[in-house]
Structure 1
Amino acid sequence: MKFVRPLAAALALTAAAPLFAQEAPAPAPAPTEAPARQAPPKLVVVISVDQFSADLFAAYRAQFTGGFARLMTGAVFPSGYQSHAATETCPGHSTILTGARPYRTGIVANDWTDFSAPREDKTVYCSEDTSVPGSNSKNYTVSDKNLKVPTLGEWMKAANPASRVVSVAGKDRAAVMMGGHKTDEIWWFWDKTKSFQSYAGRAMPPSVARMNAQVADQLSKPRDAMALPAFCQSRDRAYNLGNVTVGSGRMARKPDDLRGFKASPDFDASIVSLAIDLANDMKLGQGDATDLLIVGASATDYVGHGNGAGGTEMCIQMLALDQTLGRLFTALDATGVDYAVVLTADHGGLDIPERNRDLGATMSERVLPSAHANAVGKQVQTALKLPLQPLTGSSFGDVYFDPRLTKKQHKAVQAETIRIYTALPQVEAVFTRAQIAGTAMPKGPPETWTLLERARASYEPSRSGDLLVVLKPRIMPISSPGPGYAATHGSIWDYDRRVPILFWRKGMTGFEHPLSVETVDIAPSLAGVLGIPVPVEIDGRCLDLDAGPETTCK
């Protein structure tokens, strides 16, 4: 049996018409006849929706009629946790298919500082190879070298070398961190070429070449404003943030508007369409071994960053993604392959403070420029009469001390930096390396962890900072919003930590579990479904996904 190529191609060719005005009826719920429960599925599909918070899921779940509606007939965990402190794209994706928190994966942030890096630029991007001559953190070679642990795909290959792993995402860090070190195909969208690319030397399959041609065609044309569904009309309110207005957009764009394309349902449609075509060409799930298809849907993150989570832009995106996922599952249904799906997110997100205040949120504001590490560093330099500005970092998160400081200067810089930060009204706490390293690894429900325990789950001594700066809840760490960057995530608070986790397989008994689980539970749970061993020490636990007499967890 084959995946249906015309249906897959249609996903990417949505540029010419409003997404909702001519929308086909949503696919009906999947058939309920169950496969033999003793047999593992032939295909596992893992989907990450970038910046899909538990709050977004709760706000839209009653409106879903497509792919999300399908998934909600399975096992629903509305309070999944990216339990660590560094709620960014790279750390979050590193937890999903490794079963390990960032202190194990080594992925402590999207970027960190390494003063021993063999180049002038000491910033390290999480998915790069710093040893490549002439590279830097903005002009890098994509690599899996920084990921310290194996992924589910590698566990599957160890159990059966015939298993194949395919990873497709809108971001390289999503494709790499979920795919791991032994992918058969791995493709991500590369801004510099405005196309899907892979590691150097890998042949481009015809399906990728076709998709790149379709993306080029979409980018060459204007995009008309999308229809606004009735449910979204109450969210239609414009907010002028100075350099950008958000809240009432309709996804219209001019030719060659790459930012607009990526922050739209069209981007996710191209990612999902490519995943279907690769699965079709490779006949995933149709061999003797179970295969793994990984999909990183990135558009929600770009919509969230550019517009926040509460306006028409996110409403259009959520309802469109639901339909795109529905088409993915319809295509998989047509193959007759027994497949299982899990969907989650790498982190949540915080809506723009301007809208949050209108909705009654207290202490919701943008971070002051005085909280930035460079501004604090200048104060420290002046106070201590140092010959250099001693701090590297941002307005929150890891802060690094210049290694040229003497031991005495280092001690003085730490004390003065903590004094300045803790005096700022927007700062909740400042933790030292010693405090974090001396904290026991957290146990129990992740919502009960202290701030230090959350930090401990993200701490890796060779990559983490000398200090961790924690802003107070609802402080947006963007001082001056602009096009594409009005809101963000990355905090230690639950609006960034909580994400949904949804499991589905045809015939399974659906249920909703109200208590918290973690994204590190996904990989061991899938290993339980597949009946394969977990070959390394991990942090996650196997969740029993079958309410019948046979358990998936041993």
Structure 2
Amino acid sequence: MESDPVKLKYPIAALAAALSLSGPAAGLAQDRAAPAPKVTAATPAPKLLVVIAVDQFSADLFAEYRGHFTGGLARLASGVVFPSGYQAHGATETCPGHSTILTGNHPAHTGIVANNYFDLDAARADKRLYCAEDETVPGTSSKGDQYAPSAKHLLVPTLGDLMKDRDPRAQVVSVSGKDRSAIMMGGHKADELMWLTPTGLTSYRGRALSPVAQQASAAIAAAIAAPQPGLTLPADCAAHDIAIPLDGGKGGSVGTGRFAREGGDFRAFRASPQADGAVLAAAAALRQTRRMGEGDGTDLLIVGLSATDYVGHGTGTEGSEMCLQMLALDRELGDFFARLDATGIDYLVTLTADHGGHDLPERNRQNAWPAAQRVDRALDPDKIGKAVAEKLGLPQPLLYGDGGDYYLSKALTPAQRKAALDEILPRLRAHPQVEAVVTAEELAAHSISKRPADVWTLMDKLRASYNPQRSGDFIIALKPRVTPIPEPGIGYVATHGSVWDYDRRVPILFWRRGIASFEQPNAVMTVDILPTLAAQIDLPVDGAKIDGRCLDLLSGPEDSCSS
């Protein structure tokens, strides 16, 4: 039997009983219907900061579905809204994006230049490094489930780290659908940090989950093990119910899915609204058990919601699956906020995304963009490196790459390096799908821009992602609407990662009970979030050590950044 997604309660409700989530905490209940005191510059700091990152929640998705929101996203849209926020840098991937949200720094300074990059001097045989691993752990590699999760590569402190430095009693908890999300936002000093796996929740190797996290993990594992019937498509999603053939019809189709899955299928679970509900339920349970927001200071609860990203990759951004996901996300956030409301805690919410996203080219070609295409396999670094090495008689492998960064072999002499670049760069620049090829030397000579992110040049975007110790010898930027997936397959048909605004633009939303609503459509950046939240809790931040600026959240002449 199919279920109506408007009425269906996902795990934040279904798991509430299993996790013993209660109503108002003793002594904290208040009449939520009473008029809220207006937030002013003199209002005391909130007791709880809630930072939510929705993976691949682009400004385009927010705008498209904003009129359909009635739950948590509708609440946030009634607060302080920056609809055109920017992940300003060029490497619009999950790890770099999450690294900017609570550090106030671009990837150039966080050191997180990509999800994966290469260190050809690494001691282990696998020179490819995952952004959130410790490659010095014996017997590990960058491959999935074979690396040791770690915050080692994050070069700067997070908001939670700074809060702990000021007051070690401040609680910092980070829970997410992905390890890199939890780690990059949670930082180096989080009290608890965990993410979804096929067996529930996990944390760093050697770090045991707390009792309530273990309870949440068991409840989530049970939800994963149970089959999920398909959902009935509501009227709001009917226009998206169009099958898009893949690979000329040989690869199946996307666009008409309903999230039905067999029991135990974790890959399908994480690419469904159930995953976000599970993370929110775990976050609510951790807040309740740890009594976050009930002490003398301010605590920080970090929530990374990853289902939107998996849906976007697996079925694109404009199908019925994404429509169902947006409505469910709105509903689940509403349930989560209602549970916070019931405590009477004064909390401030910030919601943004690690990057945007673009629909699969097959659907774009049906919907008024016939030039959308997939990347040419000829741009694969292994193929380019082999061809050039054979032509010039150079040692192989010559070229390493995983995305926009390309690395030349360290075995080359200076003369061989010059010869290789003289052959490779013109070849790439002449390719019709390549917008630009920029060398490390060119980026190192280019200053990080201080201008608004919406007027950044391509060099500005790439420079904000460039770190001289970690970035490639040169970086390739593809032309607009060239999807860097050569062939679609079920589970991975669309992606992000480009320098273009559909991947850079994200909403940045703030809400607190009693705050006056306003909307500011000018360009702000995710690096502005840390100084903005720090000002809300009177936490000093050295402006010379961050790339962001404080955003004034008070409508009118008062300034929340100078209080």
Give the TM-score of the pair, scaled to structure 1: 0.93
Contact 2:103 2:546 in 1 (8 A): yes
Corresponding residue of 2:121: 116
Residue 383 of structure 2 corresponds to 375
Aligned to 2:23: none
1:5-24 equivalences under 5 Å are 8=12, 10=14
Q: 1:407 aligns with which of 405, 414, 417?
A: 414
1:80 corresponds to 2:85 = yes
Residues 160-204 of structure 1 deviation map (CA, whole Å, 9 limit, x = unaligned): 22211000001111001001111011111134xx32111233332
Separation in 1 of the partners of 2:34 and 2:139? Answer: 52
Aligned pair 1:263/2:271, yes or no? Answer: yes
Q: How far did 1:378 drift?
A: 2.0
The aligned amino acid for 2:535 is G
Q: In the alignment, is the contact (CA less than 8 A) between 1:272 and 1:295 conserved in 2?
A: yes
Contact 1:12 / 1:266 at 8 angstroms: preserved in 2? no
Instruction: Please tell me whether residue 295 in structure 1 is matched to residue 303 in structure 2.
Output: yes
**Corresponding residue number in structure 2 for 1:41:** 46
The 8 Å contact of residues 82 and 508 in structure 2, kept in 1 or not, is answered as: yes
Quick one: structure 1 residues 29 and 268, their matched pair in 2 at CA, closer, same or farther if it must change by over 3 Å? farther
Gaps of 5+ in 2: 1-9, 19-31
Q: Distance in 1 between matches of 2:318 and 2:17?
A: 27
Which amino acid in 2 is paired with 1:128? E
The 8 Å contact of residues 11 and 274 in structure 2, kept in 1 or not, is answered as no
Q: Deviations over 1:11-53 (max 9, x none)?
A: 5799xxxxxxxxxxxxx99964446743000000000000000
Indicate the residue corresponding to 1:64 in structure 2. 69
Distance (Å, rounded) in 1 between the aligned partners of 2:449 and 2:67: 34
What's the secondary structure of 2:464's corresponding residue? helix
Paired residues for 1:274-423 under 5 Å: 274-394=282-402, 396-423=403-430
Q: Identity percentage over the alignment?
A: 54
2:91 is paired with a residue of what secondary structure? coil
> Quick one: structure 1 residues 334 and 7, their matched pair in 2 at CA, closer, same or farther if it must change by over 3 Å?
farther
Q: Which residue of 1 aligns with 2:193?
A: 186
**Residues 162-241 of structure 1: matches in 2 within 5 Å?**
162-191=169-198, 194-241=199-246
CA distance in structure 2 between the aligned counterparts of 1:419 and 1:55, rounded to whole angstroms: 35
- Give the drift of 1:229: 1.3
Letter aligned with residue 345 of structure 1: A
**Distance in structure 2 (CA, Å) of the matches to 1:7 and 1:49:** 17
Name the SS of the counterpart of 2:545 in structure 1.
coil
Query: Which is worse superposed, 415-424 or 81-90?
Result: 415-424
The equivalent of 1:103 in structure 2 is: 108
Letter of the structure 2 residue corresponding to residue 61 of structure 1 = R
**1:25 aligned partner:** none
Aligned partner of 2:165 in structure 1 is 158
Distance in 2 (CA, whole Å) between partners of 1:273 and 1:386 is 56
| Residue identity in the other structure for 1:288 | D
The answer on whether the counterparts of 2:38 and 2:515 sit within 8 Å (CA) in structure 1 is yes
Which of 524, 531, 548 lines up with 1:517 in the alignment? 524
Question: Distance in 2 between the 1:67 and 1:529 partners?
Answer: 22
> Which deviates more from structure 2 when the two are superposed, residues 29-38 or residues 286-295?
29-38
Residues 84, 522 of structure 2: 8 Å contact kept: yes
**CA 1:229–1:410: 2 relative to 1, 3 Å:** same
Q: Is the 8 A contact 2:13 2:335 kept in 1?
A: no
Contact 2:15 2:219 in 1 (8 A): no
Q: 1:7 to 1:231 in 2, by over 3 A?
A: closer
Q: Report the counterpart of residue 127 of structure 1 in structure 2.
A: 132
Deviations 1:336-365 (A, max 9, x none): 000000000000011000111111124210
In structure 2, the partner of 1:446 is 453
SS of structure 2 residue aligned to 1:232: helix
1:146 aligned partner:
153
| Runs of 5+ consecutive residues of structure 1 not aligned to the other structure | 1-5, 15-27
Contact 2:38 2:516 survives alignment (8 Å): no
Residue matched to 1:20: none
Amino acid in the other structure paired with 1:357: R
Does residue 551 (structure 1) correspond to residue 540 (structure 2)? The answer is: no
**CA offsets, 1:214-262, max 9 Å, x none?**
2222222321111211110000011121324211101111122111101
**Local SS of the residue matching 1:157:** helix
Q: CA RMSD in A?
A: 1.8
Q: How does 1:493-504 map to 2 (within 5 A)?
A: 493-504=500-511
Which amino acid counterpart does residue 294 of structure 1 have in structure 2? I
Matched, 1:478 2:485: yes
Maintained 8 Å contact 2:11/2:277: no
Instruction: State the SS of the aligned residue for 1:295.
Output: strand
Displacement of 1:205 in angstroms is 2.3
SS of structure 2 residue aligned to 1:348 = coil
- Kept in 2: contact 1:268–1:299 (CA 8 A): yes
Would the aligned equivalents of 1:307 and 1:485 in 2 still touch at CA under 8 Å? yes
Partner of residue 532 from structure 1, selected from 527, 539, 550: 539
TM-score normalised by L of structure 2: 0.92
Paired residue secondary structure (1:436): helix
Q: In structure 1, the residue corresponding to 2:534 is in which secondary structure?
A: helix
Equivalent-residue separation in structure 2 for 1:11 and 1:264 (angstroms): 16
1:99 is paired with a residue whose SS is coil
* Secondary structure of 2:541 counterpart: coil
CA contact (8 A) 2:116 2:130 kept: yes
SS of 2:490 mapped into structure 1 = coil
Distance in 1 between residues matched to 2:207 and 2:64, nearest whole Å: 42
- Contact 1:153/1:292 (<8 A) preserved: yes
Distance 1:446 1:372 in 2: 30
Look up the equivalent residue of 1:366 and give its one-letter code. R
How far, CA to CA, are the matches of 2:197 and 2:51 in structure 1? 21
